[in-house]
Structure 1
Amino acid sequence: MADQAVRRSPGRRAAKGNRFYFAVSACSVIAVLLLWWIASSNEWVNPLFLPPPSEVWSAFTDIVREGYKGSTLLAHIGASLKRISVALLLVFAIAVPLGILCGRIRLLSAVFDPFVEFYRALPPLAYYSLLVLWFGIQDTSKIILLFLSGFAPMFIAAVYSARRIPVDRINGARSLGASGFRLYAFVIFPSCLPDLLTGLRTAVGVTYATLVAAEMVAAVSGIGWMVLDASKYLRSDIIYAVIIIMGIIAILIDSAIRLLIRKVSPWIEQ
């Protein structure tokens, strides 16, 4: 019984600590909302720049009920998530195997690394006009822009994780007969998976931040486009409402990835 109590106590302390930090986070959010309400009520800031929370809530409910520019809110969210999902699937399917191979084969790394290092520091808008010229103004150019924004962090995470695999693990697998595809599929890839999921979390954040740029040109749907379109008419209430929606979606996506990381590698704190 004493041993069970000892084993349970760390878990209880961790749960109590999590509840405490959650309460602190909730209080921080409430404090910011309260400050926002006080500032807007006393008109410390021009309502054009900081609309009252009531107006933002009213704009949100209007968008939920009536949609925006002929499409429902779910349709706009779905259009943006579709672009991001396709881009991230391509990122994981291309950047991960290429990065792992570059991490294990220095010659291959020498071929691809200069190009990745060159373009990853460029702002997305710097080469988006080229993508539009090459691939048109439809979703193809937008998906490619999102793909390029997420490729570099995913590729770098794959290279780093492949290089830090212990040599003894590789030699042990080879001594048991693993080689070629089996070595990569059953030893190297599982060893890289925790770092890959962390890299995916970074890639999702970078890709999501590029969403507005991707929906700037000839788009008529998407939450990024909603922000840009509302800014043309100085509808700051809609801008704030959509930005909050974007933030909530980003938190949900990040929470899902963090949960997946904890399932795959529970020893890593997230």
Structure 2
Amino acid sequence: MREAAPQKTSRFKVQGEGSSAAISVVTVCVLLALWFGVTQLGLVKPLFLPSPQAVLLQFQEYLTGAANDRPLWQHLLASVLRVSVAFVLALLLAVPVGLAMGMSRVVRGICDPLLEFYRPLPPLAYLPLIIIWCGIDEVPKVLLIFLSCFAPLALAARAGVRSASQEQMQAAWSMGAGPLQVIRHVVLPAALPEILVGMRIAIGFGWTTLVAAEMVAANVGLGQMVLNASNFLRTDIVVMGILVIGAVAWLFDWLMRRLERRLVPWKGRM
């Protein structure tokens, strides 16, 4: 009898998270080295690209309160509160709307045109209307971020309903389960992976809209700090603010990924 030919092993192996993290660290180090080299050699004027030392100096001054402005923690706290409040409100409202859109043709017919109409609009397009309707206090800032988070959360929840098995839903109905029980025990667990992806996208949109939201008569916030510095051509403060906003947004995304692994550990392993 012939021996079975050994199966060929794939030349492509799934890389672990450790190797990916190492590549990311190397990439960041290379970018920092290029930034340092370009500014030290004077290839770009400081007005267009400040040196890492200048940005670090501004970070230290804002961190210690030595800058001619509010301390960094006040700007950071104000921005985090605005984004967090808007995100939580959007999550509480958009997920039920998305689930209802996925389960009801009537709700989908009512809400889908509205979502698809305003979703592609840039926040600056309807910012004047929000100011006219809501004034210039904290409400328009939170509302603008809320609207940027609502659409991706609702659409993600609607798409997640399609993951629910019709057999499981029919079995739940046949066993006497009510609508809320079907949603809680069948639809919501099946839609949870999509909802978590929508949460990651929504929190990113929220931070993207932060600068536009803090254009509305804000006197504190990371976006306001960047806008105020840009008016005086303080690119070192602008770059420092951009790096802080990016770092906080990355931290939120990391927390979302950790939450995703805890709530849906089976995702990607089926």
**TM-score normalised to structure 1 length:** 0.91
Matches within 5 A, 1:73-84: 73-84=72-83
Corresponding position of 1:225: 224
**Counterpart residue number, 1:186:** 185
1:5 alignment partner in structure 2 = none
Q: Deviations over 1:35-60 (max 9, x none)?
A: 00110011111110111111111010
**Cα distance in 1 for residues equivalent to 2:189 and 2:60:** 45
Aligned residue number for residue 262 of structure 2: 263
| Aligned 1:1-270 pairs, distance under 5 A | 17-66=16-65, 70-269=69-268
Distance (whole Å) between structure 1 residues aligned to residue 73 and residue 155 of structure 2? 34
- 2:144 and 2:213 in contact (8 A); partners too: yes
Would you say the 8 A contact 1:67–1:73 is kept in 2? no
Q: Percent identity?
A: 40
1:176-233 per-residue CA deviation (whole Å, 9 max, x = no partner) reads 2211222222222222111111111111111110000000120001101111011011
SS in structure 2 of the partner of residue 50 of structure 1 = coil
Segments ≥4 residues shifted beyond 6 Å? none
Letter in 2 for 1:211: L
Equivalent pair of 1:64/1:72 in contact (CA under 8 Å): yes
Aligned to 2:8: none
Structure 1: which amino acid aligns with 2:109? A
Which secondary structure does the structure 2 equivalent of 1:267 belong to? coil
Q: Which sections of structure 1, spanning at least 5 residues, go unmatched?
A: 1-12
Equivalent pair of 2:148/2:206 in contact (CA under 8 Å): yes
RMSD: 1.7
Amino acid of the structure 1 residue aligned with 2:201: T
Query: Is the CA contact (8 Å cut-off) linking 1:125 and 1:213 kept in structure 2?
Result: yes
Q: Give CA-to-partner distance per residue, 1:90-148, whole Å, 9 cap, x none.
A: 11111100110111001110011111100101110000110000000111001111111
CA–CA separation in structure 2 for the residues paired with 1:166 and 1:65: 56
In 1: Cα distance, 2:267 partner to 2:180 partner: 28
TM-score, with structure 2 as normaliser: 0.91
